[in-house]
């Protein structure tokens, strides 16, 4: 019986293969860490061949670990770090440059030049994105400009571009399919949100030949079959950006449903269904997924430093020895004693978008203890999230009554209770923490009939804990006002 779905979660720090059964249970996980290269300050690159090798490695490892045969896998779903860009030679299959990671700032000057020409509004209107090197377009431009002869080769149709979904599909199908899905394509800055096709004006502006771009498809469909890896070809039936996959894995299928992933950063997404909402408050608009031609759009707020702030307590300040220790230490004091930590180590993302801002600790007194700083750091994850939530409510006109959460720091009960208090909103943690991989598995399973309808999937969502707001309104407002003062002080520093 082909009862299992394999999700490949190709993330920034590692590649994982996770096997799920039809009841959404995790049967096995294999993981391989990836190396990041930092050739210059602010540049982040990865070796796309290593990413491919790690993918093959974890696929075989998870099968070996669980004893499940390739013939028992109904489909593979791929979810991936978004925006990360690779360009390769169609004939040899060799990348012509390292993959430029989403965090990398090396193509910033192109964005600055377009900003100076007043093009930001037009680009935002068409793509829902802010003119920032975060997205793929300027990264492709960088590669075409910095590898000798690349522009001409691309124009002759000899080079292909892909984000990691496209790269892995091309490799898994032995070069047969060069495709992406709408969720990934919506982060390239080349796709028009309305037509869901590449935009001629943008292609011209970036001088990127259409022939190097992957075909844009639905998020859930059989794109191809594995070729040459297993005796039995397995359908590859979902490609989806990781944050959108988590939204799907959380079964946030209705308009106004919100999920927040507390990872290295925080990615908060709201499903707005068929509505394209252009943010007036520094949020991004992109595609969640398209299934059988039906598109769900999302509003997204990205916070650059969240879990990474807890790591800084451990590795930078060395005042905790493990991330999990932060919770018990924070509880040793009754409050932060007026201390606020603003962990904007790499600038402020949504809703402020101030790339130059540095972080800070405010409100120190002679009585400040390590525990106050630890507690204030955890609270900063909740405050940053609430800034994005408030912006989302303004943009969407929808009141957010509950928020579903996942990611490493969502294991921290203290954080989730404080989040609920400060937002005055229910915070819901699901039993499955691997919602990103689960989302990809669901999307692949839907395409091959493992699940017939989204409603069958919705029924499988299981709540692990619900956090209800308990803070008095006056106290809540006072906390939020303190945070506002801290953020504004940091922005002026």
Report the binding-site residues for ADP: 12, 16, 264, 307, 408, 412
Of 63 and 391, nearer to ligand G3P (C-beta) is: 391
Of 102 and 451, nearer to ligand G3P (C-beta) is: 102
Closest approach, Cβ 130 to ligand G3P, in A, equals 13
Give the burial string for 361-380 (b: 16+ CB within 10 Å, else e). bbbeeeebeebbbbbbbbbb
Count of residues of this chain found to bind ligand G3P when the rule CB under 6 A is applied: 11
286 and 298 in contact (C-beta within 8 Å)?
A: yes
Of 102 and 223, nearer to ligand G3P (C-beta) is: 102
Closest approach, Cβ 11 to ligand G3P, in A, equals 4
- The CA-atom distances, in angstroms, between 366 and each of 375, 378, 485 are 17, 21, 21
For residues 316-375, which are near ligand G3P according to CB under 6 A? none
Q: Which stretch binds ligand G3P (CB under 6 A): 113-121, 235-243, 351-359, 459-467?
A: 235-243
For residues 42-101, which are near ligand G3P according to CB under 6 A? 81-83
Closest approach, Cβ 241 to ligand G3P, in A, equals 6
Question: Under the criterion CB under 6 A, does residue 242 sit at the interface with ligand G3P?
Answer: yes
Q: Which residues are annotated as a binding site?
A: 12-14, 16, 82-83, 134, 242-243, 264, 307, 311, 408, 412
For residues 260-289, which are near ligand G3P according to CB under 6 A? 263-264
Contact characters 245-264, ligand G3P, x per CB under 6 A: ------------------xx
**What letter does residue 399 receive in the DSSP assignment?**
-
Closest approach, Cβ 10 to ligand G3P, in A, equals 8
Contact characters 96-125, ligand G3P, x per CB under 6 A: ------x-----------------------
Question: Under the criterion CB under 6 A, does residue 11 sit at the interface with ligand G3P?
Answer: yes
SS3 248: helix
β-strands 258-262, 266-273: how paired? antiparallel
Question: Under the criterion CB under 6 A, does residue 139 sit at the interface with ligand G3P?
Answer: no
Q: Which stretch binds ligand G3P (CB under 6 A): 36-44, 236-244, 415-423, 468-476?
A: 236-244
Closest approach, Cβ 161 to ligand G3P, in A, equals 17
Of 66 and 433, nearer to ligand G3P (C-beta) is: 433
Helices of type H across 324-472? 325-330, 370-396, 413-423, 435-448, 454-458
Q: Which residues contact 224 (CB under 8 A, 6 or more apart)?
A: 169, 172, 173, 176, 177, 179, 235, 236
Closest approach, Cβ 265 to ligand G3P, in A, equals 7
Of 7 and 73, nearer to ligand G3P (C-beta) is: 7
Of 82 and 126, nearer to ligand G3P (C-beta) is: 82
Of 76 and 306, nearer to ligand G3P (C-beta) is: 306
In sequence order, what DSSP letters do the residues of 135-163 get, joined into one string?
SHHHHHHHHHHHSTTHHHHHHTT-EEEE-
In sequence order, what DSSP letters do the residues of 282-334 get, joined into one string?
S-EEEEEEEETTEEEEEEEEEES-SHHHHHIIIIIS---SSTTHHHHHHTTSS
Q: Rounded distance, CA 44 to CA 41, Å?
A: 8
- The CA-atom distances, in angstroms, between 483 and each of 258, 350, 365, 383, 451 are 23, 15, 17, 7, 45
264 and 283 in contact (C-beta within 8 Å)?
A: no
Q: Which residues are annotated as a binding site for sn-glycerol 3-phosphate?
A: 12, 82-83, 134, 242
Q: Rounded distance, CA 428 to CA 20, Å?
A: 22
Closest approach, Cβ 14 to ligand G3P, in A, equals 9
Q: Rounded distance, CA 250 to CA 430, Å?
A: 8
Rounded to the nearest angstrom, the gap between the alpha carbon of residue 391 and the centroid of all alpha carbons in its chain is 19
Of 103 and 272, nearer to ligand G3P (C-beta) is: 103
Q: Which residues contact 477 (CB under 8 A, 6 or more apart)?
A: none
Q: Which residues are annotated as a binding site for ATP?
A: 12-14, 264, 307, 311, 408
Residue 96 tokens read as: 């012509």
* Phi and psi angles of residue 226, each rounded to the nearest 5 degrees, phi first: -60, 145
Of 343 and 482, nearer to ligand G3P (C-beta) is: 343
Of 102 and 110, nearer to ligand G3P (C-beta) is: 102
75 and 447 in contact (C-beta within 8 Å)?
A: yes
Closest approach, Cβ 266 to ligand G3P, in A, equals 11
Q: Which of 5, 6, 12, 173 binds ligand G3P (CB under 6 A)?
A: 12
Q: Which stretch binds ligand G3P (CB under 6 A): 37-45, 237-245, 371-379, 449-457?
A: 237-245
Place of tokens 């005042």: 319
Q: Rounded distance, CA 79 to CA 63, Å?
A: 19
Closest approach, Cβ 278 to ligand G3P, in A, equals 20
Helix (H) or strand (E) holding 243: helix 242-249
Applying CB under 6 A, which residues contact ligand G3P? 11-12, 81-83, 102, 241-243, 263-264
């Amino acid at each position: 019986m082909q009862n299992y779905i394999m999700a490949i979660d190709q993330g920034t720090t590692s590649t994982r293969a996770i096997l799920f059964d039809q009841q959404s249970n995790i049967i096995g996980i294999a993981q391989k860490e990836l190396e990041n290269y930092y050739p210059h300050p602010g540049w982040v690159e990865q070796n796309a061949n290593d990413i491919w090798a790690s993918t093959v490695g974890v696929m075989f490892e998870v099968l070996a670990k669980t004893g499940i045969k390739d013939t028992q896998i109904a489909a593979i779903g791929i979810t991936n770090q978004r925006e990360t860009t690779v360009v390769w030679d169609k004939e040899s299959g060799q990348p012509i440059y390292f993959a430029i990671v989403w965090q990398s700032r090396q193509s910033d000057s192109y964005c600055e030049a377009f900003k100076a020409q007043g093009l930001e509004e037009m680009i935002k209107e068409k793509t829902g994105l802010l003119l920032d090197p975060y997205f793929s377009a300027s990264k492709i431009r960088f590669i075409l400009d910095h590898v000798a002869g690349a522009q001409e080769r691309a124009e002759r149709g000899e080079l292909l571009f892909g984000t990691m979904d496209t790269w892995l599909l091309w490799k898994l199908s032995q070069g047969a399919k060069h495709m992406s899905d709408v969720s990934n394509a919506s982060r390239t800055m080349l796709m028009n949100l309305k037509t869901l096709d590449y935009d001629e004006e943008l292609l011209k502006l970036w001088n990127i030949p259409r022939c190097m771009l992957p075909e844009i498809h639905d998020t859930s469909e059989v794109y191809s079959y594995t070729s040459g890896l297993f005796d039995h070809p397995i359908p590859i039936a979902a490609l989806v950006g990781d944050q959108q996959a988590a939204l799907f894995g959380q079964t946030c299928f209705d308009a106004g449903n919100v999920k927040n992933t507390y990872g290295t950063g925080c990615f908060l997404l709201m499903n707005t269904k068929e509505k394209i909402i252009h943010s007036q408050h520094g949020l991004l608009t992109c595609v969640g997924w398209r299934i059988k031609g039906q598109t769900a759009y999302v509003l997204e707020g990205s916070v650059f430093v969240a879990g990474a702030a807890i790591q800084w307590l451990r590795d930078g300040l060395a005042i905790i020895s493990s991330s999990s220790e932060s919770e018990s230490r924070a509880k040793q004091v009754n409050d932060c004693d007026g201390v606020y930590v603003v962990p904007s180590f790499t600038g402020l993302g949504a809703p402020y978008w101030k790339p130059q801002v540095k972080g800070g600790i405010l409100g120190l007194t002679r009585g400040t203890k390590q525990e106050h700083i630890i507690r204030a750091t955890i609270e900063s994850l909740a405050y940053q999230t609430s800034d994005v939530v408030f912006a989302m409510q303004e943009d969407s006109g929808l009141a957010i009554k509950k928020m579903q959460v996942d990611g490493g720091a969502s294991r921290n009960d203290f954080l989730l209770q404080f989040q609920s208090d400060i937002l005055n909103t229910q915070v819901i943690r699901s039993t499955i923490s691997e919602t990103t991989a689960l989302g990809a598995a669901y999307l692949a399973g839907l395409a091959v009939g493992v699940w017939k309808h989204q409603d069958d999937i919705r029924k499988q969502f299981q709540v692990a804990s619900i956090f209800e707001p308990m803070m008095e309104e006056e106290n809540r407002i006072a906390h939020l006002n303190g945070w506002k003062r801290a953020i504004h002080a940091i922005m002026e520093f």
